[in-house]
């Protein structure tokens, strides 16, 4: 099993509305819970009750499709509303994320880190010290996880910031975006991914579900090509369509069990469908 650490603030945790996109299920995509792996089910993060669609699921689906028979595990450690200062090496968030990654690494090889953060630092000239703090964090993570060579992918901030709702105060997102891009240029094994053309929820700060799916494709493009992505990919809508898969028997069994556990099927209905799946229907 390979694994990916997810860190940053709410747009890495994911706030896309879960009812807006088909959910992604794949037997080879897992997520960390209580230090162990289980099959991924969205939302991957649980930092807030409003956690929803983030970039990691479509990233992971691209990965497993390109690595037939291999498994990928996602390590959810992003925290909504967290500022760069809350990701200092000795902060709780950083220490906790390292702990989670180490549990994951008992049974997987860490192959990458996805970072998305900066909305909380897009005001009051916080950009002046942002890049140094980000570099300190990355150096610390690489050292503590013995991961000098793995790619770190940095997602850019949305163009929609600084305008309305909870995004209104992020007036210096342009400055932060530049620093994110510069950091990717200056650091080894570090790549930038643009958020250009992605759109927000009505709250003006959180990427919507479809945008998060596209963002995941961009993150994967940068990861797999080892190269920054400065423009939206061509035909992103088509690519998302092509990612869709027919559920396998194991996925159908998972979903059936969930429906029964949620009281949406009688025991008789459950066993009828169960038998059908077992018989390959």
Contact residues: a second copy, CB under 8 A: 15, 17, 33-36, 38, 41-43, 46-50, 77, 79, 92-93, 95-97, 99, 103, 106, 164-166, 201-204, 206, 258, 260-263, 265-267, 270
Output the smallest distance, CB 51 to a second copy, in A: 9
Output the smallest distance, CB 250 to a second copy, in A: 16
Output the smallest distance, CB 205 to a second copy, in A: 9
Q: Are 2 and 107 in contact (CB under 8 A)?
A: no
φ, ψ at 233 (rounded to 5°): -70, 160
Nearer Cβ to a second copy, position 49 or 149? 49
Sequence-ordered list of residues with C-beta below 8 angstroms from that of 132, at least 6 positions apart, any chain:
none
Nearer Cβ to a second copy, position 94 or 194? 94
Nearer Cβ to a second copy, position 47 or 121? 47
CA neighbours closer than 13 Å in the CB half-sphere of residue 211: 24
- CA 80 – CA 117 distance, rounded (Å): 9
Q: What burial class does residue 274 get, using C-beta atoms within 10 Å of its C-beta: 0-12 exposed, 13-18 middle, 19+ buried?
A: middle
- Nearest Cα to Cα of residue 119 among 62, 159, 76, 67: 159
Nearer Cβ to a second copy, position 88 or 131? 88
Output the smallest distance, CB 221 to a second copy, in A: 28
Output the smallest distance, CB 54 to a second copy, in A: 14
Nearer Cβ to a second copy, position 106 or 188? 106
């Amino acid at each position: 099993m390979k694994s990916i650490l997810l860190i940053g603030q709410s747009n890495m945790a994911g706030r896309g509305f879960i009812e807006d996109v088909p959910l992604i299920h794949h037997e080879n995509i897992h997520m960390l819970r209580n230090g162990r792996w289980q099959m991924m089910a969205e939302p991957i993060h649980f930092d807030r009750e409003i956690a929803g669609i983030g970039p990691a699921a479509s990233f992971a689906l691209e990965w497993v499709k390109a690595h037939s028979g291999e498994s990928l595990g996602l390590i959810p450690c992003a925290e909504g509303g967290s500022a760069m200062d809350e990701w200092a090496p000795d902060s709780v968030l950083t220490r906790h994320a390292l702990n989670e990654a180490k549990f994951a690494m008992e049974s997987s090889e860490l192959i990458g880190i996805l970072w998305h953060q900066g909305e909380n630092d897009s005001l009051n000239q916080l950009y002046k010290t942002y890049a140094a703090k980000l570099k300190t964090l990355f150096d610390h993570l690489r050292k503590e996880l013995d991961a000098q060579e793995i790619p770190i992918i940095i997602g850019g901030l949305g163009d929609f910031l600084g305008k309305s709702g909870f995004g209104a105060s992020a007036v210096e997102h342009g400055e932060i975006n530049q620093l994110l891009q510069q950091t990717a240029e200056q650091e080894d094994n570090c790549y930038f991914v643009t958020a250009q053309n992605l759109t927000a929820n009505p709250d003006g700060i959180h990427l919507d579900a479809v945008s998060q799916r596209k963002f995941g494709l961009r993150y994967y493009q940068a990861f797999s090509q080892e190269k920054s992505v400065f423009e939206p990919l061509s035909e992103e809508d088509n690519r998302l369509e092509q990612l869709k898969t027919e559920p396998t028997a194991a996925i159908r069994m998972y979903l059936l069990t969930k429906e029964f556990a949620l009281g949406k099927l009688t025991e008789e209905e459950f066993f009828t469908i169960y038998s059908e799946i077992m018989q390959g229907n």
